[in-house]
């Protein structure tokens, strides 16, 4: 559990440095909350459950504006870059496995400024 908290802390710090919170209504804390049910799967400690897909669908349903989408992208990018106990391949495949089409790859190299 300590590793999860360290990961969340790392993600929050990275987003605070990268994102433009004055324009984005969805902060990294919200992203982490939506995706929390996915942690067992992406950390190799469990199977993909319905709660994870529900969280992903809720997250992408709430990201309606360009700043929201870019903020979510930046958070996911930071999470992918941190790689602390997270299988990047599993994390990147989550949207497709849950039937969600996102317009960018979840990767540390994604340019979130191009997300619309």
The CATH number given to whatever domain includes residue 72 is: 1.10.110.10
Buried b (16+ CB within 10 A) or exposed e, 79-102: bbbbeeebebeebbebbeebeeeb
Predicted TM-score (pTM) of this structure: 0.71
Confidence (pLDDT) at 22: 46
Residue-wise pLDDT tens digits, 65-102:
999 999 999 988 887 777 678 888 888 888 999 998 88
Q: How many domains does the structure of the chain reveal?
A: 1
**Domain extent for 44:** 2-114
Confidence (pLDDT) at 6: 53
Residue-wise pLDDT tens digits, 22-71:
454 688 899 999 999 999 998 899 889 889 999 999 999 999 899 999 99
């Amino acid at each position: 559990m300590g590793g999860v908290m360290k990961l969340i802390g790392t993600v929050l710090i990275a987003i605070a440095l990268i994102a433009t919170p004055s324009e984005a209504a969805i902060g990294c804390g919200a992203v982490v909350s939506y995706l929390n049910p996915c942690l067992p799967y992406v950390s190799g400690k469990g199977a993909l459950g319905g709660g994870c897909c529900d969280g992903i669908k809720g997250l992408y349903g709430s990201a309606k504006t360009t700043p929201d989408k870019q903020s979510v992208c930046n958070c996911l990018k930071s999470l992918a870059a941190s790689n602390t106990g997270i299988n990047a391949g599993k994390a990147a495949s989550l949207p497709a496995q849950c039937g969600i089409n996102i317009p960018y790859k979840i990767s540390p190299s994604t340019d979130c400024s191009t997300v619309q």
